[in-house]
Structure formats: structure tokens, C-alpha cells
Chain A
Amino acid sequence: MTEPPPVRVLGVRHHGPGSARAVVRALDAYRPECVLVEGPADADPLVGWVGNAALVPPVAILAWDAAEPARSAFWPLASFSPEWQALTWASTNGVPARFIDLPTTLSLAPEPEPEAPEETAEAADPQGTENPQGTADPEPEEPPAPPPRTDPVAQLARAAGYDDPEAWWEDAVELRTDGDPFDALTEAMAELRAGTGEDDPETLRREAHMRQQLRAAVKSGYARIAVVCGAWHAPALTGRLPAASADTRLLARPRKTTTELTWVPWTHSRLAFASGYGAGVASPGWYAHLFTTTDAPIARWFTGVAGVLREHDLPVSTAHVIESVRLAEALAALRGRPFPGLSEVSEAAWSVMCDGNPVTLDLVTRGAVVGESLGEVPEGVPTVPLDTDLRARARTLRLRFSAEQKQVSLDLRKPPDLAKSQLFRQLAILGVGWGTPDAARSTGTFKEVWNLEWQPEFAVSLIDASRHGNTVPSAASAALLEHIGTLPAITAAVEQALLAGLDDALSPLLVTLDARAAHEADVTALLCAVPPLARAQRYGDVRGTDTERLAGVARAVLERACAGLAPACSGLGDDAAADLRRAIDEVAAVVGLLDTELGELWARTLAECADRRNVPGTIAGRLVRLLLDGARLDREEAATRLSRVLSQATQPDQQAAWVDGFLSGNPLLLIHDRRVLEILDEWVGGIGDEVFTDVLPSLRRTFGAWPRAARRQFADEVARLGTAVPGRAAASEDFGDTGGLLDVVALILHGEARDDR
């Protein structure tokens, strides 16, 4: 045997199980003294963690810009990634391993072109161009603006007589269990590169950097060096390296940024194409299976698929498994493939196990082909303090970070459950949507249902959020305080702070709110601020927050609004009037939650406004209605006002707006008021044909919003107009002897009988 070459380049496909297996074999045979792996060069300190039993793939190297953590990039590694296998091999054999790609300080540096930072990260992604799936457009509906570079693997596949490059690569590389394909592959790639050339400046720079690192490794005196990189780059690193000066020039761009790196857990579904990760693989579960299973992989695969289906209570027998294996093998033979691939096993499962049902097949795809495995990262991996704090809190609350969706039901009366609810809300403020409240939760105030699902990219959100603070509550408080602007935004923040138990944030928020309310000239905005505050002070009893100050602020805001309401009602445009009317309605709905004194003020203010002239019809009508409902105005008075508005002097469109404001909402009170009905009837009967057409749409809108039953009842009443009211007068309500009834009610409400009898 001849002396082994000083450098061996192993060109692989990222996340290819066959490549991974071949890499291990090649390393065992070659026994290098140093392993160089495609990956950010400044991630070298992270290599030391490989071999730690608690670092379980799938994991990813996460790099972020220290100044702007949202600018970040991932380098995912699964157990079947050749890079991961090379790193593991190096760690088991006590051989140094290094990353050789452009360091993140360069790849994450902002580009001078107006390019989105995410795209920069994508371009720097090592799964890049040589991956046949990476070159495919992940979102086919997007128009492919730049002409896609010819897929090198597709060319090789065509040369071998395959239509589907994926199938060719699987047959030629991934499904093989023996042999060393690397030299042949490098040659083939070299041919392709000679044909098409490589002119992407980013790729050229990356390759220059890899060569530099390779030169450095040679210089340090290692006798045998193995390089594991994407097959497309292999020719650039093979053979005699060109003079270093050209590469130095290429890399001489000084723009750098400061970055930090760490390991984060990753998931199989995140590796998959469907998640939008451009350079992923479609079937991580299938690849992991191919990599880990050497004995009867197809039979074992179908056994696993049967397991997935049985978990969903679908009856799948051993006979099904046998027939699936036979069909997959027959299909492979029919298509002239040496071994069933993913399409054969999927189609066999569809036809035999799923009875041709695509929904069932989807279960198989999610459960087996993609898989839901979540990696783990050991304690002590460099990370931000916020992350550590979150982990500690989750441990205390016995919450596990799981990629599977899980539902938890919380009883807020129990302190641990309350703490969980607050943690989820604090995280939501920080943009980490670990828990989402279930929409169909119960109506009670003390029970909450949350759906939990941990997604790997939350790691980025956490790092981004860590600039706000080092613990979850402090960061959430700071984040809340940062985003306050308009008055409604502040009140919304107050509500959030209360729900999330952020007492630290509450005081400054209330102070700001008070100050902002004092300067706020817009009455509508003031009114809009009241409902959340009024609702919020109600949470006190369950959540144990101090509501007194809150009630104080709510009171102050409402008082200010009341002071400005009357003048604000005049001279409004249609849209502004509609906004104000909505705000008035909302406040009217919650004013009962505040103290009675305030209720009195509110009613007085409304009455005052209703007496003014120049109030837009829609608001005026609404005011009269609110006063009527609140028994501040008797029916006679309301009828008089209605009649006045509907008299000749007012414009018909104003009349219709008034009627709309008056009639919308719960119609029961009106239906039984014959006076009001008569006046309305008279008005409708009295307006001319032309005017009628003008006001018809708005009337129709008003009545259309009523419930069907109410409309019918109303129509019945209208039909009966003009006839004597049968029995209505005779059956006038008899409140003579209700004392006993009131006693019972009082007993229920106060626990004692009335004492004022």
C-alpha cells in the first residue's frame, strides 16, 4: 500500500445518511491527525462539547450579532449529518477538529447592498448550493427572479439516466452501505465546475477561507488531514493549492462584526423543507432511520410506520407490514432502482396501510418521514443569562421543553398554576410564543388552558430579548415599558402587565398613563383607555394584585374624559362620530364595574351631551338610548326627543343616523314601547318616496343587526299598531306584593334578609 496522501477531501451532501456513513468509514481507514469541517471557523470553542453525552442531535450552532441579536444564523446538525459524524469521530479518537468556513464575524457582517439580514444568513448557510434540495426553490409560487444555477446533481443524474436527481443521489450515494465514493464524486464535481464555473463571490470567498485554513493546518505539521465539506466545494480544496496571495486578497474585506455562538437544540421538523428552512431535507426521519438501521431497513421502517398509525388508533396488522415491504420492493424493481427509496416506501404505505387515504398518509409523513425529535444541549453551554433564568424557572415549575404540542389546564387559584400562566404571558411579551392561550377556554376567570409547543427559533428570540434584562420578569417589564406610545397602547400594556404579574412594570406604567391622560386632548382616545382599566381592576381578586391604584387611575381617566366629552361631541365628521360612538358604547358596558359615584358622573355627562345641539345624529341617538336604558330618561321624554328629531326641520340623513344610533343594540326595550313605535311609524310613513330611498340603506343596516326573533316581534308589533292594545292596560304590572321575592334575592346576594322592611 502506498503512503496515504497528506490531505484527503471528503465531499459530502449535508444531511445525507449515506455520506455520513461513508465519512466514518473513510476516516477509519485514513486515520487523520486533524479533521477540518465546513462550518463557521469561530465556532471552534464549541467543538469541545461534542462527545458530551448531554449534547444530543439534532442540534444547531447558533451565531448572533452581539449588537443586534436578531441578526443570526443557524448551522443545524443531525445525527446523520456527515459533519456531525466527523466531529464525533474526532472526539472519540482524540483528534483535533476545526471549522474552516468563513467565521460568523464576516458572514454576519451587514452587507453594503440593501439586503435583508436574514438573506445574508441564508447565503452563509453551509447547506448551500451543492445540496440538490437546497437549489430547488422552496416556495415554488414565488417567481424565480434570479436564474437558478444549474443543479450539479441534476446534471450528474441526467448523465446516469435518471429523471429525478433526488432518486439518483439516493441510489448512488445515500442508499449505499459500503464503498468509498468520495474521489469519484470529487472528480465528477470538478468536471461540472469546469463546465459551468463558479462565480458567486460569497462562495468564492468561503472557499478561499477554507483553503487558508487548510494551509494553516498543513503548516502546523499534521501528517494526515481530512476535510469534510460540501461536494461542490471539494474540487476547490483538492490537489495542489494555488498561491495564498489570491485568497488573502479575496478575504481582505475588513468589514467585521462581533458575534457570539452557542449550541441550541434543534428539531427534525425544523430540518425539513416544509418549515421554510431553505436548505433542509424533506425527510429527516427517513434519513435518520437509514443511518441508524443497517439490518433490514425497509422492514423496520414499515414496522415504525405501523407504530405511528397504531398510536392514532388505526388498525394496522403485521400482515400489512409484510405486504407494504413487498409492494415497496416490487415498485423499486419496476422503476429499476436497486433499493426502495422514500417515494417507494411512501407509496407502499399509502396503498397498503392507508387504504389510499391521503389524510392517513399525512400522519405517516409527520410522524415517521419527518419525525418530531428534539435535540438536547447540556447544562453549561455558553448562553445568555436570560436563557439560564428561563430554564431554572421552567425546572421549578416542572415544565418540559417539548417540540410536541401539549395542552395544560391551569387553575389560577393555585400559586404554581398562577406562576405558569404569568411565565407564559411574560414570554409572550418577549416574543417567545411557547404557550398560546386556547381560544375555546372556559368563561370563568380562574381557569386557563394553554397550548405548549417549544420551537427552536425561540432560542433566537430569547437572545434578542436578553437586551431587556437578565431574568424573564425584568426583561418582560422592560420590553413592555419600551413599547408604550399612544394612550390605548399604554392601557393595553397595563392589562398585559397585570395578567403577567409584572408589578414592577405596573407602577411606571400607571404613572405614564396618568401623565399621558392629562395631556391627551383626544376624548375618544381617553374613553378607549377606560375599558381595559376597568376590566383589569376586576382581576385583582384572582391574581392578588393591588387594584386600588388601578381603580384610581381608571377614575382619573374617566373623569378627564367626562370633562371633555360634551364639547368633543360637536362638529364631528362621520368616521370620527362612529369612533366616538363605539368608544361611548364600550365605556357604557364597563362603567358598572367601577364605583357608583363614577357611574353617576358618567350618566350626568351623557345627559348633558344629549341636550346639546350640533351633536351628530348617530351619537345623539345613542345617548338618548343609553339614558333610556339606564332609566335616566323616562319613555315619554325619549319619545318626545325622537319625535323632535324626526320632525321636518332635520335633514333625512341625520334622522336616519339618529335612528340608527337609537335603535342599534339590544332591541327588547323598544319593541314593547308603543309610543316610540308610533312615532317611528309615523316618520317612515311621512317621508317622501325619494327620501325613503335615501334613508333605506341605513335603516336596513340598523334592523339587519337585530336578532331574527326580535325583528319578527317588532314587525308583529308594527302590524298591530293602531289597534287597541288588548289586555295590555289591564295587565299593568302589579308590584304590590313582591316583598317575599326581594327577600330571597337579598338572601342570595348578601347572605341575610333585607333589614329595611
Chain B
Amino acid sequence: MTDIAAETALLRPHAEQLYADELAALARVDDRTRPANWLLSPWAVVTYLLGGTLPDGTAITPKYIGSRRLIEIAVATIATDRALLLLGVPGTAKSWVSEHLAAAISGDSTLVVQGTAGTAEESVRYGWNYAQLLAHGPSFDAVVPSPVMVGMRRGAVVRVEELTRIPSDVQDALITVLSEKTLPVPELGSEVQAHAGFNLIATANDRDRGVNDLSSALRRRFNTVVLPLPDSADDEVAIVTRRVSDLGASLQLPTPDHAHDEIRRVVTIFRELRGGQTLDGRTAVKSPSGTLSTAEAISVVTQGLSLATHFGDGLLRAQDVAGGIVGAVVKDPVSDQVVWNEYLEAVVRERADWKDFYRAAREVSR
């Protein structure tokens, strides 16, 4: 285990480091059947993600606030050795869920392939250490394994982020891995076979659909779980509050106990602009081009908190979040500016207790 001093110095510890205690406590009380190479039973994995109190009194913090059924489908999918595809608009905690699933199942969330337009086949299959290759000829020693290959050997969960950003030919390299559970290495006339416990969790953004849509052959190998935007404003406020205090801890910001009203305001603005109407349903508003996800709300509040701490009186105020909100809403300088101004004048100005925010927003909008 890493020592505490080293851990606090980390900007962002991995899930299995941050929640090592909870994982250990779960493993202690977990007496249900565990699939081969799983550190916890499926039930314990679900509990780890959704939180709860264990029989021995340990409190498990919720990592995902939302539908229990979705997480159950996700965990059951991995248990049936089908690959899992998490879909959703940006900022719906897809990567977050996948990281925690990997941490809880394999104890290691670091086997990640980050999908980009430039992701090459080597990151999905294997590459070569050319010095070794020239010196000793082809052998497994000269192979540089990808995270996928490592996961297959170890029987661990591998994550693929932004699967649809990966070029189609590289995506299709996953088909053999998922259907045959093997990775051929033709240069050596050999292969790497997956051990029990190996599986794949991919995330994809359904706003960018069509970037590199999955071939139906690959699609067929995934079970799909769509992570929705939070159902209710209360849920979303809870998510933002929890994540802000988590992030704040690592950035040495104060906990946002007093900031509840301000967080609620940010969430209200985001939900109203996203939904195209005010929460009371009385006024229609235009929606801007951005997604205005929960993740953006979190970063707006964190940024505001940082402003308040370093330049303000330490209390989160309207002027601290106004700049962040304008930045999140106005993604397109022309059309979104119109949307925002209209919202300010038609909705914000009408709210008696939002005067401070209106003034602050006007100041940064011009």
C-alpha cells in the first residue's frame, strides 16, 4: 500500500487507492459467490457503487447517484462476460462509473485505452520494442503489450474510453478479442488467451454519434447501458455537492457546506437551459449548443469555490459562479450569447431573490 503522505500528494488518486478501506471492508463481509478472478461478488460491487451500510457498520459512500437498476444491469453484464458499453451525453459519469466498476471488480482501474482520433492499433493489440527485436529476434520479450493484452493475461477488467472516437479499423481489432477471447500474435505464430475475469468496459458519447459509429459486428458484442442525466434537481444538487467536496479536498479548498443555495442555483440554471423551460414549466427558454452536463456544473462550482477562497471572503457568492456559468453556456459566441442574454432578461431578472446573480452575470456577459 502507498503511504498516506504520498497519497495526499497525488493530484488525483485512483478509485482503488481513494476507497481502499471501503473495498477492503466489503471484501471482509462479502460471503456471496464471486466469479473467477473477481475481488468482490456482483452484489458487493453494486453496493460499492451505490453506497450503503455494511453489517459490520462500515458506511460505503455512494459513487453513483441514480438508478439502481442501471448499475445492476451493468454489473450483471460484466458477470456474463459480455462487454459493457456505457452510453450517454458528455458528463453523465460514464468514465466515473467505469473506473469504479474496474476498481471494485479487479482492484485496478488503470488498464485504460484512451480513445482518440489518433489511437493506433498498438494501443489495442500490442507493439514492438525494436531494440529488443533487433537484438534478440522476435519473441514475447520484444512485445510491448497493450492494456488489453495485460488485462487478458491477468484476467482483469480493461476500460476503453470514448470508443467512438477511435478509427473504425482500430475498433474492429476488438472483435476477435471479444468473440474469441484471444489475441493472436501472428509474428510469433502464437496468441494470448484471455483468463477468466477479463472483460471490457467501453464508454461512448451519444452526442457525437456518427464520428466513428460502431460496426454492427462490434456493437453486437456489447450490452448497452444508457446513463441518463439526473432525473430530479435534488439528485443533481446532491451529485454536484458530493463531487465538489471530493474535488475540493484534493485541491485543498474548504468544504462547500454553506454553498448549498449557490449550488442549487447553478443546477437550476443548467437544468432550465438544458430542458428548454423553467423548472415551474411557465416560461420557455432556448437551449444553447453545449450539453450543460452535471460534470460542467461541478466544474463551475469548483471554480467558483476556488475564486471565493483565493480572491473573495471564502463564501461562495453569485459573482464567483457567474463567470463559470457564462463560460459553460456560451460555447458559440454568437448564437449562445443570444440564448444567454434572453435567459438573463426573461428569467433571471424576474426572480426577486436572484438580483445579486443578475448583476454579476450582466457584468461578465458584456
Contact = CB atoms under 8 A, between A and B. Distances in A.
Interface in B22-76: 42-43, 46, 69, 72-73, 75-76
10 contacts: A317-B220, A319-B220, A327-B77, A333-B76, A335-B72, A347-B72, A356-B87, A356-B224, A356-B225, A357-B226
Contacts of A358: 226
B80 A327 contact: yes
B223 A323 contact: yes
B82 A343 contact: no
Contacts of A330: 42, 76-77, 79-80
Nearest to B74: A351
B216 interface: yes
Interface in A325-359: 326-327, 330-331, 333-336, 343, 347-348, 350-352, 354-358
Contacts of A317: 220
B224 A326 contact: no
Taking chain B's interface residues, is the majority helix, strand, or loop, or is none over half, making it mixed? helix
Contacts of B226: 356-358
A582 interface: no
B76 A331 contact: yes
B355 interface: no
Given A326-B82, A330-B80, A351 B223 contact: yes
Contact of A352 (B72, B87, B223): B223
Contacts of A335: 72
B77 A320 contact: no
A281 B151 CA distance: 47
B260 interface: no
Taking chain A's interface residues, is the majority helix, strand, or loop, or is none over half, making it mixed? helix
B42 A323 contact: no
Given A326-B82, A343-B69, A334 B220 contact: no
Q: Rank and list the top 10 A-B pairs by shortest CB-CB distance, nearest first.
A: A356-B224, A356-B226, A330-B76, A351-B223, A331-B76, A326-B80, A330-B80, A355-B224, A334-B42, A334-B76
Contacts of A327: 73, 76-77, 80, 82, 223
Contacts of B219: 355
Among B75, B80, B225, the one with the most A-chain Cβ atoms within 10 Å of its Cβ is B80
A416 interface: no
Interface residues of B, number: 21
A562 to B, nearest CB: 48
Contacts of B73: 327, 331, 347-348, 350-351
Contacts of A276: none
A355 B43 CA distance: 24
Contacts of A323: 80, 82, 223
Nearest to B216: A315
Interface of B: 42-43, 46, 69, 72-73, 75-77, 79-80, 82, 85, 87, 216, 219-220, 223-226
Contacts of A347: 69, 72-73
Contacts of A333: 42, 76
Interface residues on A, range: 20 to 34
A352 B216 CA distance: 13
B225 A351 contact: yes
Contacts of B225: 351, 356
Interface of A: 315, 317, 319-320, 323, 326-327, 330-331, 333-336, 343, 347-348, 350-352, 354-358
A534 to B, nearest CB: 42
Nearest to A348: B73
Contacts of A356: 85, 87, 224-226
A333 B82 CA distance: 16
B46 A334 contact: yes
Contacts of B224: 351-352, 354-356
B15 to A, nearest CB: 21
Contact of B75 (A315, A334, A348): A334
B82 A331 contact: no
B75 A351 contact: no
B140 to A, nearest CB: 33
Nearest to B227: A356
Among B42, B87, B223, the one with the most A-chain Cβ atoms within 10 Å of its Cβ is B223
Contacts of A320: 220
Given A319-B220, A327-B77, A334-B46, 6 more contacts: A327-B76, A330-B77, A331-B72, A333-B42, A334-B72, A347-B72
A509 to B, nearest CB: 47
Nearest to A346: B69
Contacts of B223: 323, 327, 351-352
A323 B216 CA distance: 15
B77 A334 contact: no
Contacts of A351: 73, 77, 223-225
A385 B73 CA distance: 55
A336 B72 CA distance: 12
A17 to B, nearest CB: 24
A603 B172 CA distance: 79
Nearest to A330: B76
B82 A334 contact: no
Nearest to A347: B73
A317 B77 CA distance: 18
B101 to A, nearest CB: 14
Among A323, A333, A347, A355, the one with the most B-chain Cβ atoms within 10 Å of its Cβ is A355
A650 to B, nearest CB: 41
Contact of A334 (B79, B85, B87, B216): B79
B196 to A, nearest CB: 15
Nearest to A329: B80
A341 to B, nearest CB: 12
A350 B87 CA distance: 13
A735 B76 CA distance: 86
B138 to A, nearest CB: 36
A417 B75 CA distance: 58
A556 to B, nearest CB: 51
A343 B72 CA distance: 12
A756 to B, nearest CB: 63
Nearest to A352: B223
Contacts of B79: 330, 334
Nearest to B70: A347
A334 B77 CA distance: 11
A368 B236 CA distance: 35
B184 to A, nearest CB: 22
A352 B84 CA distance: 10
Contacts of A348: 73
A321 to B, nearest CB: 12
Contacts of B80: 323, 326-327, 330
Contacts of B77: 327, 330, 351
Nearest to B79: A330
A317 B87 CA distance: 22
Nearest to A319: B220
A320 B224 CA distance: 12
Contacts of B216: 315
